[in-house]
Amino acid sequence: MLGGMDIPAAAAGSATVPWFALGIVVGVLGVLLAGLTAALVLRRRVADHPAAAPAAAPEGLAVDDLPGFLETPPGSAGAAPHTGWAALTAPPVPAPPAPVPLPRARRDTVVVLASMAVTALLLVGAAAAVAAASRPDGRRGHSSSADATRDRDGAAARLTFGGLVLEPRAVGVTATYPVVEVSTDGEQARAHVEFPTFNCLTGEAPPDPVAAGCTRTQTEYAELASPELVVDREGDGLRVTGRFPTELRPNGSAPTPTGRVYELRITVAPADAGAGRGWRPADGVLELGSGRADTVDDVSVLRSDS
């Protein structure tokens, strides 16, 4: 019971970031595959439909022969051969062919590949941003300075108190000997309290209920967390206040509320004057109504992270 509060609660969230990174990688591969598929489809479509060559004159279409008729009418000897000086200059150089434009298939491939590269960069940037904003335990939204402050203000205590009158009876009292566990990280706090109870034929809670002949009854349990639970630092110690509703936990059945609520005020401080982290012997006081109980020697301890 006393060691359960030391177990970290963030182990389950640590696996979130690796799975998210795997999803980003799969997304990038899917985009690349889709782009390559689109490029291949465009290239095949252009190959199946090449540019049409210039159309030739249809067969059987009449050609205008008026210019030839005028030069060589029927019955004439034909056109006289050209006479004169032979041309001494070189024949004119034909003009260079016009530049051939980049095939459409290649342009489409370049556009697709550029789009794929931009998309991949955006996805990688998003993954890096999420990884930078994520904490090792899976939680997000805390800066390093907030984490340092929380760790510095963290503390925990395990306290066992002496006898306290829980309820007076017509004959005797119902006494309890509370056991308290409390922890805080500087922001959130949680406390667990057990109230082992005894019916005693005495006016006060005896130091040893078994030796005094008291009858053991059912133990009551209580759990309380922030914001209902308030934990303040007082030097190296703690001050804990809150209203604790209790319940019974019988074996083999669900917890049953008792309907009782105990308002507790607890103060605890190191028993020695030495400073440092780790568990140290502690002294504390628990107040319930007008009742007051001190911690049991050599049982209660306090751990401070400051």
Q: What is the pLDDT of residues 249-296, one digit of tens each?
A: 998 889 999 999 999 999 999 888 665 667 889 999 999 988 999 998
Q: What is the pLDDT of residues 117-158, one digit of tens each?
A: 666 666 666 666 655 555 444 444 444 444 444 445 789 999
Amino acid letter for position 241: T
CB 265 within 8 A of CB 231: no
3-class SS at 33?
helix
pTM of the predicted structure, to 2 decimals: 0.52
- Cα dihedral sign for 175, 241, 190, 253? positive
Distance, in Å, from the CA atom of 78 to the CA atom of 75, rounded to the nearest integer, reads 8
Q: What is the pLDDT of residues 182-201, one digit of tens each?
A: 999 988 999 999 999 999 99
